Amino acid sequence: MTTALSGLARRAPFALRSRHVPVLVTLGLFLLAFLTGALRYENFGTGQVFLDLFIDNAFLIVVAVGMTFVILTGGIDLSVGSVVALSGMLCAIGTMRLGLPAPLVVLLVLLIGTGFGAVMGYMIHAFEIQPFIATLAGMFLARGVCLTISENQVSIDDALFDAVALNSLTLPGGLRLSYGSVIALAVVVVALYTLQWTRAGRNVYAVGGSEQSSVLMGLPAGRTKIQVYAISGFCSALGGVLFALYTLSGDPTHAIGMELDAIAAVVIGGTVLTGGSGYLIGSVLGVLVLGVIKTILSFEGTLSSWWTRIAIGVLLFGFIALQRLIGTRRGPRAV
């Protein structure tokens, strides 16, 4: 017994470190990048620049939250960027051309996004369609509806949208935080609670770890898959509302490629693409890493924005290799 306990004690710290290594690496990468910017550029290392990372990426944080739920089950959602654009267009058309009250428009947009995601989840479960194909069809469908509504940008000039977009929450020290970023942080808190302390959250991890085993255990694997795509649809629609607040417009070309940014943020945050392992806070850190890279390029001024894509590609390769390395090292010990 003493030998067994000592062996467990030796294995437990390694297991703990392995589980948290990707998130800790992402945190360290973010701190290193921010510190580098603070040392290189004047006025970079201020509290407002840090808060601006949340202000400028609030919509991506929300979209990444939904993507995290999907990837944790071993799925993927390629429709999120198109749903963001569609939601922005619906906000613009609903308030400006139909004259509907802004709260009603936002409610309808969220319901449409949630239903859209749930339908894709049902197709994936009931017809055993690969998530890549089902959500690719959803991506084309949502983008096509955007262009059908209008091929041009539609500006939003609504009192409520203007009030939320143009005002901000004042913090000590003269710092400000937009209401959109406050909403994004609230979504993160709710999602964290759902994943870590509810039965639905445990089901998400179980289905991602092994769907067959979860079914044998009596867990509602099918319902869970539908739920995570509905959550992703809701988050995409909410991200579209936040993007509309950020730009005060709807445009059928908005958010092209945002699905790739969301996937990149989730992977950089340490969530395994095959599902079953990852932390939501890591996805938020992944978004912040992407945000600080863009901010550094903005302060530099002489570098092309394509360097952001190069940096993201390098980071993705690095984190995929890290996940593989950790999985390889943990495998023999689990036997």
Mean of per-residue pLDDT scores for the chain: 89
Per-residue pLDDT tens digits for 125-136: 999 999 999 999
Helix axes 179-197, 58-72, angle to 10 degrees: 20
If we measure between CA atoms, which residue out of 10, 12, 23 comes closest to residue 323?
23
The sign of the CA dihedral 283, 163, 252, 308 is: negative
The CA–CA distances, whole Å, from 201 to 123, 183, 220, 221 equal 22, 21, 12, 12
More confident: 329 or 141? 141
pTM of the model: 0.91
- What Å distances lie between residue 197 and 3, 251, 274, CA to CA? 34, 38, 22
pLDDT in tens, 270-317: 998 889 889 999 999 999 999 999 998 888 877 666 777 888 888 888
DSSP secondary structure code for residue 173 in this structure:
G
Q: Coil, strand or helix: which one is 256?
A: coil
Quickly list DSSP for 10-52: HHHHHHHHHHHHHHHHHHHHHHHHHHHHHHHSTT-SSHHHHHH
Q: Nearest 5°: CA angle at 169, between 168 and 171?
A: 130
Distance CA 268, CA 261 (A): 10
Res. 17 pLDDT band, cuts 50 70 90: low
186-222 pLDDT, tens digit per residue, is 999 999 999 999 999 999 999 999 999 998 999 999 9
Give CA–CA dist 52/43, Å, rounded: 13
SS3 content of the chain, % helix, strand, coil (to 5): 80, 5, 20
CB 71 within 8 A of CB 231: no
Phi, psi angle pair for 178, to nearest 5°: -65, 155
Instruction: Check pLDDT > 70 for residue 10.
Output: no
